[in-house]
Structure 1
């Protein structure tokens, strides 16, 4: 890991000030150690209102009933996404939709922004900012270089996708140089969790049914 990246704030102070300036009056935000939190419990409806008002440089999520900030991607993060996009061209009937807003968690009360959602072509046509998970075949997460990535990307979001019954979750872990395939959601958890080192050949299970040669990922080890 690049020195200091794990300690960088999820949101610069300037972005927080801009967000605070458009926040509805009944939502009280606080900025502590580079993190944004609400002083009071936040409903999903209030979150959606806040997210609609947020500046373009701020990407918000609603995970476990709490406001979260999704880190902006760096160059290697974007390169990994583009590599995966090319791999998934094996299935021309499917699209990998970047930055997809998904209604996740139990009863679809969470609002997660995936790095990519794999679904049939035009599955999200006509949807608003947050789509129902029906028809989503796979959620993709690429870890970010921030202090919250362990809890958010490795734990909370796979649980949320399992609760939403998305068949497969693919985690590209830049710290551990692994690719983890979560599959067979049942009772709010993925029953199969299979990690692979970068460089391995990875079979994505049904309904994705795609083989990934992950040797290229070694180029993005940093």
Structure 2
């Protein structure tokens, strides 16, 4: 469910209503505080998205990626984070996202904050759902590239593909490779190992 932001232009003194219009950030914080457990609330490019808990197939894929990262990583200090909130740079309000998976060094998120800078993140992964696929394919590519996250892995269930985006530049990635699900998917540096999507 997407909710457009309230208009940011202030009305003239004659037209101004007796109540104040909440900012996008205030509305987002309100939704986040009231969301039921397991629901995700994200703010991306001026819209608030409320995402229900994922289905079983989605979670099985995330769990498989996590297991393969643990087994195949060369840097044993890397950790998998699911449900971590990232605050990314945006053109207006900061972008607030909760990727399905983030890979970063141990201790990167040791504070008690709800939202974190993306600086230590080496890879983010999203597994598409019918309700999130368009955002994962477009807005999140822009958001993760702007944040200079080195690798964005998208498991596109609807297209039956794994898309690996690397080398962020501006609001896009300069290198994208597309692989059919069921094949071996090489992940570039700084990960540098192959993901076996046959297990999906």
TM-score, normalised by the number of residues in structure 2: 0.83
Unpaired segments ≥5 residues, structure 2: 8-22
Q: Deviations over 1:103-136 (max 9, x none)?
A: 1243681001100111011211114111100100
- Report the structure, 1 or 2, having the larger helix content: 1
SS at match of 2:138: helix
Question: Is residue 110 of structure 2 the alignment partner of residue 125 of structure 1?
Answer: yes
| SS of structure 1 residue aligned to 2:96 | strand
SS at match of 1:133: coil
Alignment partner of 1:126: what SS?
A: coil
- Residues 116-195 of structure 1: pairs in structure 2 closer than 5 A: 116-146=101-131, 149-195=132-178
Alignment of 1:28-177 (within 5 A): 35=1, 37=3, 40-41=6-7, 42-89=23-70, 90-91=72-73, 92-106=76-90, 109-146=94-131, 149-177=132-160
Deviation at 1:174, TM superposition (A): 0.7
Of 190, 193, 196, the match for 1:210: 193
**Contact residue 202 and residue 211 of structure 1 kept, 8 A:** yes
Larger mean CA deviation between 51-60 and 130-139 belongs to 51-60
Query: Structure 2 CA distance, aligned partners of 1:142 and 1:178?
Result: 10
1:2-13 → structure 2 map (5 Å cutoff): none
TM-score by length of 1: 0.75
Counterpart CA distance in 1 for 2:25 and 2:139 is: 17
SS state at 1:193 partner: strand
Change over 3 Å in CA distance of 1:196–1:38 after alignment to 2: closer
> CA–CA distance in 2 between the matches of 1:56 and 1:191?
37
Cα contact 2:141–2:171 (8 A) shared by 1: no
RMSD: 1.9
The 3-state SS of whatever aligns with 2:122 is strand
Q: Is the 8 A contact 1:102 1:133 kept in 2?
A: yes
